[in-house]
Structure 1
Amino acid sequence: MKTPTTAVDRPGLAILGARTLGNALGSGRNSLNALRLVFAAAVIISHSWWLGGYGPEPSLYGIKLGTAGVMGFFAISGYLITVSAERSDTVLEYAAARLARIYPALVVAALTVAFVAAPLGALLTHGTYDPRGALTFLGAALALSIGVMDTPAIGTSLWGNNDRFDWNGPLWTLTWEGLCYVIIAAIVFLLRRIPESRRGTATAIFLLFAASTGAVFGKLLAGSFGPNRTEFVLPLLAVFMAGSLLATQRHRVRVGAAPSLLAALAVWGALATGYGTALAPLPFAYLVLSIGSIVSASAIGSRYDISYGIYIYGWPVQQLLAAAHIPSHVPALGFAAFALVAVWPLGFLSYVAIEQPAQRIRRALMRRLALRAASYNNPLKRLITSQVPAIVAVIKRLIKDP
């Protein structure tokens, strides 16, 4: 009998990668949680220059560290959300998974900012706390509308800080993350109504990726991007769709040293030409997912995934540290270190007290709904249930005319 050829027997295959993205990331042992933690820390480090008043943030080819971190988040989300949608049996199952993942922790974070951090900030800065402003901020945060509006100020509770108005800047990205969830759901679930032989999930996502990338190209050729943060929505959508596209092809795309090196060179080349936001999304998403497939850091964040908590609490913590005049005593990286140490317990508490229980509740509710549906589908129960109206009518007639 002929012995199957393995990657070890064929060095060329080993260099190109013997594993596919689907196998590497679907095994349960990957470093995506560790990467998300790195990206969350990168966002905090990057924001330190602005919130601490140290001057312009360092950047490479015009891309700031925080921007790269957010793009990394979107690349991973694009992949994982698409896989989640494909594995979900119903829209309800998919929507429940997405809401339970981000919304409960967001509610608590918004409440904490509005009614704890802002009053404390007003005390530290000798500003004023405005309850109506707090309610406006809370409503905007919970409606996921900060991505299309300026973050509502809460009185003058940040008076004296370098940023005097914005209590939680990163929340603007959740607006567009949520929109991407809806787009992927629409594509995956609507295409299920089409015969399998004619489905084109990958094609539909590719067209969205191409459209967003083309729009970025047009923006760059027209004169680059302005200071308005919402102008970076298109690159973020392109990165998300790049991760999503890779998800649809995850059992064909291989991971290995050679393709990862080529992806890194492609990202560098795109940035060096000045068209990084248009040309880099696909190789960048591949590079992020390829690094995430490495198992050596799989233990990091496998039990406590605190990256989301760090992301949504990092900015408020930095604002409070700035109100306490920490930046006047330490350099920018020292301020970032203070913030990372201070935000870690909040990220941990958010995960163990909010995010984990929310996921348990979601799973319990989904199991109960599944059992109820299975029970209803029982033929005997269906027969009895269908006869209930007739039985009730007979009983009513007997009561009226015994």
Structure 2
Amino acid sequence: MTAPQPDSSRFNNFDVLRFFGALLVFISHATFVPTGSLWADPLYALSGGQMTIGWIGVGLFFVVSGYLITQSWERRRGVLAFFRARAMRIYPALIVVVLGIFLIGGAISTSPAYFSQPGALSYLGNILVPFSDNHLPGVFEELPSSGVSDNFWTLRYEIGAYVLLALMGALQVWRRDTVLVLFLLVSLLFALGGSATNNGWFDLPRYFLAGSLVYLYRDKIRWTPGFALASLIGLALFTFTGGMKLAFSVFGTYLTLYLAFAPWLKLQRFGKYGDFSYGLYLTGLFIQQLVQRADPSLGMVANFMISFPIAMLAAVVLWYTVEKPALTFKGGKPKTRSAAPRPEYSGTYAVRRAPVNSQGYPRNSRR
């Protein structure tokens, strides 16, 4: 059975998966903001401190990113065009959110001379290097967690993965064998423990590499309900036995991309009004902190119920005013490819096919 060909069909569920990943992160932060403890996250407690619900969401992001960004590289085949496309996807919204947090921080800060303090000005460094600073003077200092953008920490690893792909791609070594060796090497170092286990560069990019491998081996991988169920069971087992992060880079990758192209899911039009996942991810935690500051007695459920509609409104505004317009500056028409048939899924459900758009690539390949 052939594997997914997202470059030749609009029939996929990437929009809903990205949003689901952002939602998982938001849910996890709703447990962290009122308590300041990761152990308040149900999955973190259940797994003995291995992964939070939000970590699952982040892992999903990186798997999807690895698949789609590898596909994007194959279309563009140029470092400058590749980086321009990536920059237009990440930085316009990031810059607006960083500036917004900085200015709102000044309005609510309990620290005198906020705008002249080095601690406030250094926060603007997040515009260039995400998570270079996570605090603002006099902001949220009375809350269980005083960070203003804890969620930014993953962005530096995603940008790092882009740089790695572009460098190896320019050297013409981003191919099956080298990416497989790199994935196995990083996984081995992570499994051996020590500093590698606590180093994000051996963790999150591994999910990106896993997603890329699926794309590169897309003609070899079989997608069946049985394998998907086995992957789900495998993840559940490792939740209790240890090694959950390593297991997710295999089982979680299969599950994520199985769902991305599962014809029975019928959520292909989920993102027809926009891709609000990145905006929800960027603004979510700061809004949750603002809500908790307004009423420190709020519990986890109340924080989520109040914060989520506000964060969704912010994400929608950010999409239409910043993200969507910025995508028009990505530049450089991608190299079109001839249409290929949809993958045939093993199982009882029927195979569906969908035409490519006018440029030969899917509607939601905005990454």
Q: TM-score range by the shorter chain?
A: 0.7 to 0.9
Alignment match, 1:288: 256
Alignment of 1:181 onto 2:162: yes
The whole-number CA distance in structure 1 between the counterparts of 2:200 and 2:241 is 18
Alignment of 1:96 onto 2:84: yes
Contact 2:189 2:196 in 1 (8 A): no
Which one of the candidate residues 344, 350, 369 is aligned to 2:318? 350
Amino acid at match of 2:170: F
The Cα offsets for residues 219-269 of structure 1, whole Å up to 9 and x where unpaired, read as: 1xx59966xxxx344221211111111111123323221221222223233
Structure with the higher fraction of residues in helix conformation: 1
The Cα offsets for residues 170-225 of structure 1, whole Å up to 9 and x where unpaired, read as: 1111111000001111222211xxxxxxx671111111111211111011xx5996
The whole-number CA distance in structure 2 between the counterparts of 1:302 and 1:96 is 24
The whole-number CA distance in structure 2 between the counterparts of 1:168 and 1:54 is 14
Alignment of 1:207 onto 2:181: yes
Alignment of 1:58 onto 2:32: no
User: Which range moved further: 54-63 or 315-324?
Assistant: 54-63
The whole-number CA distance in structure 1 between the counterparts of 2:120 and 2:195 is 37
* TM-score, length of structure 1 as denominator length: 0.75
* TM-score, length of structure 2 as denominator length: 0.82
Q: Unaligned stretches of 5+ in structure 2?
A: 334-367
Amino acid at match of 2:248: A
Which one of the candidate residues 118, 129, 142 is aligned to 2:105? 118
Which one of the candidate residues 62, 75, 81 is aligned to 2:63? 75
1:83 aligned counterpart, secondary structure: helix
2:190 aligned counterpart, secondary structure: helix
The whole-number CA distance in structure 2 between the counterparts of 1:239 and 1:335 is 30
Alignment match, 2:283: 313
Alignment match, 1:388: none
Identify if the C-alpha distance between structure 1 residues 106 and 145 changes in structure 2 by more than 3 Å, giving closer, same or farther. Answer: closer
Contact 2:13 2:267 in 1 (8 A): yes
Alignment match, 1:84: 72
State the 1:128 CA deviation.
4.6
State the 1:282 CA deviation.
1.8
Alignment match, 1:248: 216
Amino acid at match of 1:243: G
Higher relative contact order (CA 8 A, sep 6+): 2
Q: Unaligned stretches of 5+ in structure 1?
A: 1-17, 192-198, 368-402
**RMSD over equivalenced CA pairs, Å:** 2.2
Alignment of 1:142 onto 2:127: yes
Q: Count matched residues.
A: 323
What is the 5 A alignment of 1:218-229?
A: 218-219=192-193, 222=194
Contact 1:44 1:339 in 2 (8 A): no
Alignment match, 1:20: 3
Amino acid at match of 1:98: R
Contact 1:187 1:204 in 2 (8 A): no
User: Which range moved further: 51-60 or 93-102?
Assistant: 51-60
Alignment match, 1:155: 137
Alignment match, 1:398: none
The whole-number CA distance in structure 1 between the counterparts of 2:174 and 2:260 is 27
Contact 2:2 2:218 in 1 (8 A): no
Identify if the C-alpha distance between structure 1 residues 225 and 216 changes in structure 2 by more than 3 Å, giving closer, same or farther. Answer: closer
Contact 1:54 1:332 in 2 (8 A): no
Contact 2:283 2:311 in 1 (8 A): yes
Rg larger in 1 or in 2? 1
Identify if the C-alpha distance between structure 1 residues 54 and 156 changes in structure 2 by more than 3 Å, giving closer, same or farther. Answer: closer
